[in-house]
Chain A
Amino acid sequence: MAEVAFIIIAAITLASAFFVVFSSNLMYSGVALFFTLFGVAGLYVFLYADFLAATQIMVYVGGIMVLILFGIMLTNKIASTDLRQANRGRFMAGLSAFILFLLISAIAVTTQWHTGSPQFLDTTVAKLGMMILYQYLLPFEVASILLLAALIGAALLSRKK
Chain B
Amino acid sequence: MNSVIDSMMKIFGSLGTGNSALGLVLAVVIAGLVVFTIMAVMAIVAVYFERKVSAFMQDRIGPMEVGIFGFKGGKQFWGGIGQTLADTVKLLVKEDILPKEADKKLMIMAPFIIFIASFLTFIGVPLSDGLVVSDFNIGVFYIMAAGSIGVIGIILAGWSSNNKWSLYGALRSAAQIISYEIPIGLSLMLVVIVVGSLNFGDIVAWQADHRWFFIHSPFAFIAFIIYVIAGVAETNRTPFDIPEAESELVAGWMTEYSGFRWSIFFMSEYANVLIISIIASIIFLGGWLSPLAIFGVHVSWLEGPLWGLFWIFSKAVFFVFVMMWFRWTFPRLRVDQLMYFCWKVLIPFALANLIFISVWELIF
Interface of A is mostly: helix
Q: List 23 A-B contacts (CB under 8 A).
A: A1-B24, A28-B105, A31-B106, A34-B113, A50-B138, A51-B138, A51-B141, A54-B138, A54-B141, A54-B144, A55-B141, A57-B145, A61-B152, A63-B148, A63-B178, A66-B151, A66-B152, A66-B178, A79-B162, A81-B101, A81-B103, A122-B137, A125-B138
- B residues engaging A (CB < 8 A)? 20-21, 24, 101, 103, 105-106, 109, 113, 136-138, 141-142, 144-146, 148-149, 151-152, 155-156, 159-160, 162, 164, 167, 171, 174, 178, 181, 198
Interface of B is mostly: helix
B148 touching A123 by the CB < 8 A rule? no
**How does the 8 Å CB contact mask read for A69-88 relative to B, with 1 for contact and 0 for none?**
11001000011010000000
Task: For the complex, count residues of A whose C-beta is within 8 A of B.
Answer: 26
Inter-chain contact total with CB atoms closer than 8 Å? 80
Write the nearest CB–CB distance from B216 to chain A, whole angstroms. 22
* Nearest neighbor of A72 in chain B, beta-carbon distance: B159
B164 touching A1 by the CB < 8 A rule? no
Q: How far is the CA of A31 from the CA of B107 in the complex (A)?
A: 12
A50 touching B178 by the CB < 8 A rule? no
A50 touching B136 by the CB < 8 A rule? yes
For residue A20, CB closer than 8 A to chain B, the reply is no
A66 touching B155 by the CB < 8 A rule? yes
Q: Which residues of A contact B145 (CB under 8 A)?
A: 54-55, 57-58, 62
B156 partner, pick from A69, A78, A125, beta carbons under 8 A? A69
For residue A27, CB closer than 8 A to chain B, the reply is yes
* Nearest neighbor of A66 in chain B, beta-carbon distance: B151
For residue A65, CB closer than 8 A to chain B, the reply is yes
* Nearest neighbor of A4 in chain B, beta-carbon distance: B21
A57 touching B146 by the CB < 8 A rule? yes
